[in-house]
Structure 1
Amino acid sequence: MSMQNKPQMVEAVMFFSERGGICKEMLFPEFEALLDGVVNMPEFADQQMRVAFVLINPRLLIKSAVFFYLDFDENGAPDTGWNIPLQHLAERAGRGPDLGAGPIRLACRSQCPVSWHQMHLWDPSLAPGQNDLVLLRDVVKRNLLGLLIEDDASQALAPERLQMASEDKWYAADPAQESADKAAEQAAEKVDQEQRQKAAQLIKQQRLRIASLSQQHEEELAKLKLLNDEQSKNLQAQIHGLHQALRQQEELNSSLKAQLAAQAASIQTSREEMTEQLRTLERQGRSESDLVRAQLESELQAKIASAVVEYKEQIAIRDVELAYRKEQDSQLLQEIERLKRERNELAGQSGDQILERLAKLGVVFVVYHPGAGHLTIALQDIARYQDNPMAYVSAKCFVSEEQYRQWLGHYQQPSCEAKLPSGERCAIPIDRIDTPSRFTLGDSNCCARHKASSRLRTVS
C-alpha cells in the first residue's frame, strides 16, 4: 500500500510588477535557489522588486504575509547581502485583515516585529479596487503553483469526535418552544458575534491603513524637509556668493576710479611736457633736420659700398664653380666616347662567333624532349633547332612532325580521345605509349571499346 501525499502548509513567494499585478510566483525552495545563485531572473535585471512571502494552508487560504524589497543587479542576480528572516517575521508579525482563514499575521513597513528590518519592507495598498491583499488572495485561489488541496469533506467532524447527550436530556418538556428559543438565542449570538468580528476586523484594517498612510506621510514630509534644507543651503550659498561678488565689484570700481584719476593727471602732465617739447623742436627743427639728412646720406653711401663688395665676392665664387663644372663636363664627355667605342666593339662580335668560342672551350648544348630524352645538339645543327625544335626532335625519333605532336598530346594526357554521340570527349584513362614510333592515331589514343569500333569501321 503506497503512501499518499497529504495536503500541508506551503510557503510561497509572489513578485509584484510596476503596474500593480503579480508577475511571478514560486515556491520558497525555488526562491532559496534564486538567493543561492543557482538561477537568475534576467527579466528583473537592474530593478528593485516588491515581493511578498505568504504561508498558504491546504484550503488555499493565506495565513501569514511578509511584504519586502529585493534588489537585482544588471545580470538578474539578487543582492548577495540580502538576509531578511522571512519565516521568523511571519511567525512574530501582528494581526492583519481576515482573508478567509481568520486574521492573518502581517509584517510590513508600518507593522514590523523587528525594527532594523523595517527599512527593507513596504506597505501594501488597501485602497478599494487596488487592494494588494485581495490580489494575493485571488492569485493563491487560482492555484497556478499546483498545490495539493484539502477536500471540504475532510472538514467534517469524525464520528468518534461527536459527543452524545445523556438519555434523560433527549426530550424536553416543551420541545417546540425550547428549540425555538434556543435557535433564536443562538442566531442572535451568532449575528452579534459576526458583527463584532466584522467591526473588529474593519477597525484593524483601518488602523493598519492609517498607520501605513502616516508612515507614507512621514516619509514624504522628511523628504520635503530634506529638499527644503538643501534648497535653503543652496540659496544661502548663492546669497553669500552674490554679496561677496558685490563687495569685490565695489572694491574694483573704487580702484578703477583711483586709476582713472591718476591717469588723467598723468595725461595732463604729459600733454604739457609734449607742448614744451614741440616748441623746442620748432626752434631747433631746421638745424637738426640738416644734421639728420647728412647723417642719412653718409649711412646710405656706406651701405651701398658694403653691398658692392659682397656682390663682387659672390661673383668670384660663381666663377670658380663654373670652371669646376666645365672640367666635370669634359671628363663626362670623354667617358661617353669610351663607352661608345666599347659598345661598337661588342656589337661587331656576332652570335656565331660567340657560340664557336664556347664550343672551343668545351661547352656542350643539351636539351630534353619527351620521347627523345636528352639530345646533344651539334654546333652546326643549332640554327636548325632554333628554327623548328619540334621538327628536329621528330626527326631524331624517326617519325613525322605531325605524328610526334599527336603522340605528345597523348603522352601528356593519356585518355581516350574518341567523340561520344553527345559531342563530348570519352576521356577514359588508357595506357600511355612511351615511344612516338609505336603510336598509331585512332588506336593508341582510344580505349578498348572505341578501338573495336574503329576496327569495325575499317573492315567495313
Structure 2
Amino acid sequence: MSMQKAQMVEAVLFFNERGICKEMLFPEFEALLDNVVNLPEFADEQVRLAYVLINPRLLVRAVVFFYLDFDELGAADKGWNLPLRHLADNAGRGPDLGAGPIRLACRSQCPVSWHQMHLWDPSLAPGKNDLVLVRDAIKRNNLGLLAEEEAPVVLPERLQVAAEDKWQAPDPARQEAARQDERLEQEHRQKTAQLIKQQRLRISSLSKQHEEELARQKLAADERQRALQAEIQGLQQSLRRQEELNASLKAQLAAQADSMQQSREELSRQLRDLEKHGRSEADILRAQFDAELQARVATALAESKEQVAIRDVELAYSAEQEAQLKQELERLKRECDELASQGGEQILERLAKLGVVFVVYHPGAGHLTIPLQDIARYQNNPMSYAAAKCFVSEEQYRQWLAHYQQPTCEASLSSGGRCSMPIDRVETPSRFVVGESNCCARHKAGARLRTVS
C-alpha cells in the first residue's frame, strides 16, 4: 500500500466558464502559493480549482474542488491554507472514473465542516460534467506523466481446477461469447452505479442551493415585515400625538366657554338689580352689557385663534427640530463609524498585508473569515453578522442557538414548568422552526393540531 501511495501523482487543474484552462503539478502550485510566481491572467478573481490524485495508469483516484483568490497582481491569497491531501484522503465515495469509485470532496460532501465554504460543487449535467472533464484531461496527459500498463494479476486462491471428467478441449467460440457477455454485464453495472452516484450528488447539490435560496428569501421577507411594522408604529404614534393635541384644544375651548357663561350670568344678575332703580338706568346698563359681551366674545375668539395658530407653529417647529435631530443623529453615527473604523484601520491593514486572517467561530455558521471591510459591522453586532451568514434573521438565530446549546423541549406544562424532555438537535439555523424544532413529539404544534382535529 505504501508503494502505491508513493507512486500517486498530485496535480491541480484550473477551471473557467469554458472548462479546464490550466494544468500544473502540485510542486508548481506550491510555488504559486509561496508567491514565487504569479498568474496575471487571473488577477483580482476567485478561480475554481480541482486537486487531483492520479495513479500510474493515468486514472483519477481522488478529487477536491476548491476556490482560490488572486489579488490585482495575480498573486495567490497568502491566507489560503486548505489541507488538500487530508480532504482527499478522508472524502466520501464518488463516481467511478475508470479505477473504481473515487474519493470526492466538494461543497455538498465535505469531510471537514469548517472548510465547506471554501469548496464548490461540480456540474454533473450531461455534456457539461466537470468530473468527465477531469478524467479526459488526465488521460490526455498534458502534464507529461510517465504512465505504465498493468497486467491483470490472478490471485492463487481464485484459480480453480476443473474435474477430470471435464478435461477436454475448450470451445473457443463459447468461451469468447461467455467473456463478451460477462464484460458487457460488468460495463452495464459500472455505468448504472456511476449514473446513480452522479444523480445522488446532483440531487444533494440542488437541495443545498434550494435551502440557501429559501433561507435568503425568508430573511428578506422578515426584514420587509419589520420595516412595515416600524412604519405602522410611527404612524400610530403621530396619530396619538395629534389626538392628544386636539383633546387639549377642546378642553381649552370648553374652559373659555364656561368662563363666558359665568360672565354672562354675572352681567344678567347686575342687569336685574339695576332694573329695580329705573328704566333709563337699565337701558344704559343693557347697552353697556351688550357692548362688553361682544367685546369679550371677540377677545375670546381672537385669543382662541391666536392659540391655535401658536400651536400650529409649535407643531411645525417641533417637526422641523425632529427632522434636524434625526439628520444630526445619522451624521454622528456615520462619524462614529468612520472614527471607529479609522482608529484601527492602519493596524488591521498592516496585519492583513502580513497574511493575518480574521477568523471567528459561530455555531451554525462554522468558522467565518471576516474581510477587512466587514470588521466594523461585525464589532457592532456579531450575532447579526453570523445570522446573515446563515441566511436567517437575528431573532431566529438566537432562538436556534438557545436550542442548539440545550436541545430540550421548551413547551410549558399545566403546572407552570417546562417539559425539558431531550430532543434531537437541529444542526442548521435555516431548518429551525419555532414550535416544531424546539418541542418534543407530544408538544409540537403539528401534533396539537392533529389532536384538536
In the superposition, the TM-score normalised over structure 2's length comes to 0.49
Q: TM-score, normalised by structure 1?
A: 0.48
